[in-house]
Chains A and B, each alone.
Chain A
Amino acid sequence: MEHLIVIVLLSFLAITAVAIVMLHDLVAVVMLFGIFSLLSAVIFLVLDAVDVAFTEAAVGAGISTVLMLGTLALTTPKEKTSPRFAPIPLLVVIITGAALVYGTLDMPRYGDPTAAIHQHVAPRYLERAPRETGIPNVVTAVLASYRGYDTLGEVTVIFTAGVGVMLLLGSPRRQTKRKRGKR
């Protein structure tokens, strides 16, 4: 029953993705991308990943959409070139997809508790994390305690990206240029 819900939601995602690729009005594309993110957040919720679900809803559907709309406001909301049918990229995509589908045939089935991924370190975390860290939410315990250095690295990446954006868009040279342009 639970898997049925996931199947229906995944089908919605596929339809949204096709619409995103086909449409030329970029505002509509960005809005559809917000819907896509929100749908995937719902899927994460059904698949028991509650922390991932609210992060995706806040960051993926919220901040990404706002950033893209801001970019459209600074550039142009219309896709100019009408893309003609391109057989070679379609062939490349179909071949890559077929290779990946072939790769999934060996994968453990959905929800299989005997899959290799559930055997090694995850049971240890589930068993000891509440005692060792005092946090009942194992995801938080792993993120902030066992793999705290990874999270520090993540913060470094965000800081670097923030500095990059500031250097690209906030440099004094650019602002004087813009003022000159206004005059």
Chain B
Amino acid sequence: MAWLGLYNYWVVIFLMMAGFYAVITRGNLVKKIVGLNLFQTSVFILYISMSKVQGGTAPIVDNEFAIYSNPLPHVLILTAIVVGVATTALGLALVVRIRESYGTVEEDEIHHLDKSF
């Protein structure tokens, strides 16, 4: 059952690749941003999976507990989540702006309009 210890990482890779696939194949810009977010969240799960210690508890120090999970990845991912939502907001603002200029959010139509211009 040694492979079960790697199950978390494999699901994370599957989620990552699902997001990656959405980014490269879907023409709709909103769908692309959802794919990017999927990728991002899977990286968060990867980091938090690594921080877990068997038999540990949340890293809030108390005399009752001796083993804690690693707090460092938690700090990194807290920062990453907030930065992630900032980039999502900027990306979505760009989508709204593109829609106003081109009248569409489909990539192939935007390319077509660019060529005919």
Q: How many Cβ-Cβ contacts under 8 Å join chain A to chain B?
A: 270
Q: Inside 8 A of A122's CB, which chain B residues have their CB?
A: 70-72
Q: How far is the CB of A55 from chain B (nearest CB, A)?
A: 5
Q: In the bound complex, what is the Cα–Cα distance between A81 and B110 (angstroms)? A: 13
Q: Inside 8 A of B4's CB, which chain A residues have their CB?
A: 3, 7, 110
Interface residues on B, range: 35 or more
Q: Which of A20, A94, A154 has most chain B Cβ within 10 Å?
A: A20
Within 8 A of B (CB), among A1-45: 3, 6-7, 10-11, 13-14, 17-18, 20-21, 26, 29-30, 33, 36-37, 40, 43-44
Majority-rule SS of B interface residues: helix
Interface residues on A, range: 35 or more
A60-B86 contact in complex given A44-B48, A117-B51, C-beta closer than 8 Å: no
**B9 with A107: CB separation less than 8 A:** yes
**A93 with B21: CB separation less than 8 A:** yes
* Contact pattern, A 93-137, Cβ under 8 Å of B = 1, otherwise 0: 110110011001101111111010110011001100110000011
Q: In the bound complex, what is the Cα–Cα distance between A96 and B88 (angstroms)? A: 24
Within 8 A of A (CB), among B93-110: 93-97, 99-100, 104-106, 108-109
Interface residues in chain A, defined as those with a beta carbon under 8 Å from any beta carbon in chain B: 3, 6-7, 10-11, 13-14, 17-18, 20-21, 26, 29-30, 33, 36-37, 40, 43-44, 47-52, 55-56, 59-60, 63-64, 67-68, 70-72, 74-76, 79-81, 83, 86, 89-90, 92-94, 96-97, 100-101, 104-105, 107-113, 115, 117-118, 121-122, 125-126, 129-130, 136-139, 142-143, 147, 150-151, 154, 157-158, 160-162, 164-165, 168-169, 174
